[in-house]
Structure 1
Amino acid sequence: MGVAQLLHYFKWTWIGLFAVDDDNGEKFLQTVTPLLSQNGICFDFILRTPKRTDTNDLIEQLLSLLEKYPVLVNSTANAYFIYGLSTSMYTLRMLLGMAQQSSLPPLSKVWIVTSQWGFESVSLQRIWDTQIFHGAISFTVHSNQPPGFQNFLQIIKPSKAKGDGFIQDFWEQAFDCSFKHSDESEEIKKPCTGEEKLESLPGTLFEVSMTGQSYNVYNAVYAVAHVLNALDTFQFKSRALVQQREWKFQNLEPWQLHHFLRSVPFNNSAGDAVSFDERGELRAGFDVTNWITFPNNSFARVKVGRLDPHAVPGNALTLHEDRIVWPRSFNQVTHQSRSLNRYKN
């Protein structure tokens, strides 16, 4: 619904639609195509992108898909709406990279992407051009920056993460080095010192700001901590009431926490209110994010709006159009000057 409102806001009722060629993509199309049609939005084309699979099969699929590239270039649609997880977006980046290497015309469209998507990639992709996604708009899981997070990233080292194999594996991939010093290694890599700086990595490999998925984990941990604290306080008061009578608080099962979670709202250290609705879902919403890319393959996420699913109908989407950076060579129709920040039906 947020995408439908965004498309209406900019009067984009003629779009291209992309979905990964798997069960998730099929479910997405079955859900979104009737929804968009009911909102007066039509499709110039619907293109299924291959899922990440065996390298040989993937190359064949991409070459077949490349034959349809003229459809993308010649489309009169201004916006392309894409669905896919980060792993499946890998194939779309490969397709567009192959088109660029084949000297095919670039796409001057606005990419509208789902929240699962990002530029984060494996080391192999660090040289891939991100300019083709300049000006993209996505509905990303809401995030904020907890105090001290940047300092934590500056001091974290593999040597301090004892027993955490993930840190060491990530370190080797991100910095293209190895902690193994055996001469029998199949691939010769420079040795990892463990003193490399995370902030020196390009954003396509590691973002130094907390993303929405990580922010959800952060809030989940603190939500459980607040519930346990509330239960501990309740236990203390109950003991005081029974005075000399022997009383033991029953061991709480994990599933029993859900009932208490709904009634323990709190403000986290980043300044956001954290609470749950009647269905037990986090009242978070989405950030409307504008992706700005740079020639050195770095990028920035700029928040240009908010989608609040709990707002009254017609006021769910807030946009700050003056903050949006459009794709280069994109001819966006100039809108009438207005101070309207909210989309209204």
Structure 2
Amino acid sequence: MTMVFAVEEINRHSNLLPNVTLGYSLYDNCGALVIGFRAALVLASGQEEQFLQDNCSGTPPVLGIVGDSYSTFSIATSNVLGLFRLPMVSYFATCSCLSDRQRFPSFFRTIPSDAFQVRAMIRILKRFSWTWAGLLVSDDDYGLHVARSFQSNLAQSGGGCLAYSEILPWGDNPAELSRIVEVMKKSTARVVIVFAHQIHMIQLMEEVVKQNVTGLQWLASEAWTSAAVLQIPHLMPYLGGTLGIAIRRGEIAGLRDFLLRTRPDIHHNNSNGDNMVRQFWEHTFQCRFAPTPTGWMEAGGVLCTGDEDLESVETEFLDVSNLRPEYNIYKAVYALAYALDDMLQCVPGRGPFSGSSCASLQRLEPWQLMYYLEKVNFTTPFGDQVSFDENGDALPIYDIMNWKWLPNGQTNVHSVGVVKKSAFKGEELTLDESKIYWNFNSKQPARSVCSESCPPGTRMARKKGQPVCCFDCIPCSEGKFSNETDSMECKSCPEDFWSSPQRDQCIPKKTEFLSYHEPLGICLTTASLLGTFICTFVLGIFIYHRSTPMVRANNSELSFLLLVSLKLCFLCSLLFIGRPRLWTCQLRHAAFGISFVLCVSCILVKTMVVLAVFKASKPGGGTSLKWFGAMQQRGTVLALTSIQAAICTAWLVSSSPTPHKNNQYHNDKIVYECVVGSTVWFAVLLGYIGILAILSFLLAFLARNLPDNFNEAKLITFSMLIFCAVWVAFVPAYVNSPGKYADAVEVFAILASSFGLLVALFGPKCYIILLRPERNTKKAIMGRGTTKT
């Protein structure tokens, strides 16, 4: 009746087809493919019965077909009509396969294809973070094509994955339905998407109720979103809160008044349209237009008059508040009318066909009208734009519906949003979540995921043999991080950074060096300053008592120089503490090497002087002292020290020590250390000190039995023994100590050897000077006097 209304409205239109009157023929496919297919062939072949009406005679020219409703019927019919290039505009067939222009060149539709419906479903899934869903489809062209489209689009969009994908059996197959519901019951997916017709859903819900499967969020395709047969109280505990895709609702002004004016012709039955109205009238008012052979009238039946009042009865026939498929029919009729109108406005000589010709209404070929139908673009009174793309699909638009379970047990299916595609903004989903009724105790959307999202600090690792949305969350390894949810991989931290304990960010690496602020550094610094203070104190004692025999007898000038060199040895250890800099790296070994050579040189010269004095005391040995005068002693010390200074200079020039950030000891730490630059020069420096120390030790060892009462050679022997022992132990300890501990070992060796020299050489002298002054006499030192107590 909507098609009839649209045709009559167009015929009354003053600007649309002003000189043309449209007619129509209505065929009922009776839900059978064969009947619908036969009707289409009759229309396409021109074998429809002739008629005489309104000055028109003969076989009516068929310009286009509005229908069919089922995708399977449309596929079969359009396969044949495509050979004739006869336009076919469907209002309900959604199979995406019908968008194949090579196979169905003359097929158009005013309802969006399943491809867009599938994308709309995926948008809803992504909106509520449902990444784990079940898919049920009917066992026909509609369902099978949807299943393929859904899986491919889901993979491309990354919206989630399917827990299961089942084909609902066609017909009565309780065993198969029971198995499907068992799968639903055991699955962890809380969202179920169903692309099926009403009959399939009725069968499915019977089994769902039987097994009492609750707690599911249903997503309905347009085929059953508005099915009143499912909106009944005993199904609402299961289907309440359903979200569905519905055909765009439209308003058709004047349709209700037209339906109210509809009256059957009780005298004639000239067309199947009249027959349809008569059947509706008999069903609505429970009457018959003629008695039946079985005596129905005699059994108390009512005879129809055709004047009954439609407004006096409640019938869905007059409910125009929810026009969905009817609105698509209205648009389909108008699309054909606008195409015909554009064709008739063609200016001869400027037409689109061969020779710039135009189509003629008297010799109209269906393919000519199809040319104009492809270019149709108009806006309905309701405000929706109608045009077809290169595949014959209209601009897609769907309403998002929600099944609300009311306290009185009734169901209200209301719109909560729109999903559409526009020429400028593309596909967009508009959803008012505050209007959505959720059939859960929490009144919130269900959680439907195979695996919970991986937090920052982890990465996704897919489970073998399972869908892509099933994964484990693996913590990032050391030195890597991820600061995003569901990160596929962990990133490496920059060179001077390390991953935090949570592995969600990079933090600067800890730095390590021998610091003044740590206990080890404090102890070594304290020892160094203590040694410096003791050297200063001893130097003060020797200066104060410089005229006493003890100081004078031990070569006071060399003793003062030795104390100064020991003081420098203690101070040079401070260069090994603190963060390495270029100047400290270059200065520390040079200061260390020169200070110790100066110290050992003084000891060596003192030892040589002791031997020379002993030799001079013998007959004929006086000449040996002339080689060890004050000038010769100073010159020897200076010469020996200059050699070490030359070694250090050559080292600094050729391969200078430099600071280095070492990442080899600890991955999460930067160890600051001084690289010696050249191991050879470092070995030469230590070797030179060792040679002087060994030489001093040997000479002192030879002079250990001299007859003096106070034999300094013994003290030198003991001090050199300590010195050599410390540095022999230093070499393996230094080599095997990493980072700051190598510096600590070297500082310890410097301090230990310096304290050893200081105590061994000056301890006994200070003891006599300060505590035994009676022994600080020339007789006592020369061994010529005795003291008895």
Same fold at TM > 0.5: yes
Alpha-carbon RMSD across the aligned residues, in angstroms, is 4.1
Q: Which moved more, 1:247-256 or 1:298-307?
A: 247-256
Following the alignment from structure 2 to structure 1, what is the Cα–Cα distance between the partners of residues 233 and 280? 20
Question: Which residue of 184, 191, 194 maps to 1:72?
Answer: 184
Note the C-alpha offset of 1:171: 5.5
Amino acid at match of 2:417: V
The aligned residue for residue 468 of structure 2 is none
Per-residue CA distance 1:201-233 (angstroms, 9 max, x = gap): 46xx99633543322221121122223333444
| Structure 1 residue 166 corresponds to structure 2 residue 280 | no
AA aligned opposite 1:95: L
- Distance in 1 (CA, whole Å) between partners of 2:300 and 2:442 is 42
Query: What does residue 133 of structure 1 align with?
Result: 239
Give, in whole Å, the separation in 2 of the partners of 1:285 and 1:231: 28
Q: Answer yes or no: is the 8 Å Cα contact 2:397–2:419 preserved in 1.
A: yes
C-alpha deviation, 1:36, in angstroms: 2.0
Evaluate the alpha carbon distance shift between residue 12 and residue 259 of structure 1 in structure 2; reply closer, same or farther with a 3 A threshold: same
| Counterpart for residue 339 of structure 2 | 227
1:308 aligns with 2:308: no
Aligned residue for 1:244? Answer: none
Q: Which residue of 1 aligns with 2:314?
A: 200
Q: Is the 8 A contact 1:7 1:13 kept in 2?
A: yes
Cα gap change, 1:108/1:225 in structure 2, threshold over 3 Å: closer, same or farther?
same
Aligned to 2:214: 107
Aligned mate of 2:132, from 4, 9, 14: 14
- Mark the CA change 1:183 to 1:118 in structure 2 (over 3 Å): closer, same or farther: farther
Q: CA deviation at 1:4?
A: 1.3
Distance 1:287 1:310, change over 3 A: farther
Cα distance change of structure 1 residues 286 and 172 upon mapping to structure 2, 3 Å threshold = same
* Structure 2 counterpart SS, 1:28: helix
How far does residue 66 in structure 1 lie from its aligned partner after superposition? 3.1
- One-letter amino acid of the structure 1 residue matched with residue 220 of structure 2: V
- AA at the equivalent of 1:43: L
Q: Which residue of 2 aligns with 1:4?
A: 122
In 2, distance between residues paired with 1:120 and 1:65? 20
Per-residue deviation, 1:41: 1.7
Amino acid in structure 2 at the alignment position of 1:224 = L
Corresponding position of 2:201: 92
Cα distance in 1, alignment partners of residues 214 and 285 from structure 2: 32
Select which of 184, 189, 193 maps to 1:81.
193
Q: Tell me which residue corresponds to 2:364.
A: 252
Match of 1:49 among 142, 161, 168: 168
Cα deviation code 1:257-280 (max 9, x no counterpart): 232234442222222222233444
Q: Secondary structure at the match of 2:126?
A: helix
Matched residues in 2 for 1:67 and 1:310: separation? Answer: 45
Letter in 1 for 2:251: Q
Q: For residues 232 and 323 of structure 1, what CA distance do their matches in structure 2 show?
A: 48
CA shift at 1:256, angstroms? 1.1
Letter in 2 for 1:302: S
Q: Matched residues, percent identical?
A: 23
Q: Which runs of 5+ in 2 are unaligned?
A: 1-118, 350-356, 448-789
Q: Distance in 2 between matches of 1:308 and 1:128?
A: 35
Letter in 2 for 1:97: E
1:57-89, CA deviations, whole angstroms, 9 ceiling, x for partnerless residues?
x1xx135523553443454323211112x3xx3
- Contact residue 15 and residue 79 of structure 1 kept, 8 A: yes
Amino acid at match of 1:110: Q
Give 1:93 shift. 1.6
1:9 Cα offset (Å): 0.7
CA distance in 1, matches of 2:199, 2:146: 18
Displacement of 1:283 after TM fit?
1.9
Q: 1:46/1:278 Cα in 2 relative to 1: closer, same or farther (>3 Å)?
A: closer
Contact 1:266–1:274 at 8 Å: present in 2 too?
A: yes
Alignment of 1:278-289 (within 5 A): 278-289=390-401
**Equivalent residue, structure 2, for 1:25:** 143
Q: 1:209 to 1:199 in 2, by over 3 A?
A: farther
Q: Closer, same or farther in 2 for the Cα pair 1:138/1:68, shift >3 Å?
A: closer
SS in structure 2 at match of 1:200: coil
Partner of 1:148: 254
Question: 1:235-291: CA deviations, max 9, x gaps?
Answer: 5xx59xxxxxxx997333222123223444222222222223344432243222334
Secondary structure in structure 2 of the residue aligned to 1:316: strand
Structure 1 residues 116 and 248, CA, compared in 2 at 3 Å: closer, same or farther? Answer: closer
Q: 1:304 to 1:127 in 2, by over 3 A?
A: closer
Deviation (angstroms), 1:90: 1.3
> Taking structure 1 as reference, are residues 300 and 98 closer, same or farther at Cα in structure 2, changes over 3 Å only?
same
Give the Å deviation of 1:11: 0.5
Match of 1:220, SS state, is: helix
CA spacing shift, 1:106–1:269, aligned 2, 3 Å: same
* Structure with bigger RCO (C-alpha 8 Å, 6+ apart): 1
Give the direction of change, closer, same or farther, for the CA distance of 1:261–1:332 in structure 2 (3 Å limit): same
Q: Structure 1 pair 257/197, CA: closer, same or farther in 2 (3 Å)?
A: same
Segments of structure 1 that go 5 or more residues without pairing to the other structure are: 240-246, 336-345
**Contact between 1:177 and 1:189, CA under 8 Å: does it hold in 2?**
no
Q: Measured at CA, do residues 318 and 129 of structure 1 come closer, stay the same or move farther in structure 2, by a change above 3 Å?
A: same
Aligned pair count reads: 307
Taking the aligned partners of 1:296 and 1:153, their CA distance within structure 2 comes to: 32
Work out whether residues 72 and 107 of structure 1, in 8 Å CA contact, stay in contact via their aligned partners in 2.
Answer: no
Deviations along 1:126-165, one digit per CA (max 9) or x if unpaired, are 9785524333222233231121223334444555996423
Inter-partner Cα distance in structure 2 for 1:176 and 1:67? 45
Judging changes above 3 Å, is the alpha-carbon distance between structure 1 residues 127 and 155 closer, same or farther for their aligned structure 2 residues?
Answer: farther
Work out whether residues 396 and 420 of structure 2, in 8 Å CA contact, stay in contact via their aligned partners in 1. no
Preserved CA contact (<8 Å) 1:172 1:178: yes
Task: Measure the CA separation in 1 of the matches of 2:300 and 2:419.
Answer: 44
Residues 279-312 of structure 1: CA deviation (Å, up to 9, x unaligned):
4432243222334466676643425122217555
Q: Using the alignment, how far apart are the partners of 2:359 and 2:149 within structure 1?
A: 47
Name the counterpart of 2:699. Answer: none
2:294 aligned residue:
184
Match for residue 340 of structure 1? none
* Equivalent residue, structure 1, for 2:18: none
Structure with higher helix content: 2
Decide whether the 8 Å contact of 2:195 with 2:221 is kept in 1: yes
Contact 1:286 1:308 in 2 (8 A): no
CA distance 1:221–1:109, shift in 2 (3 Å): same
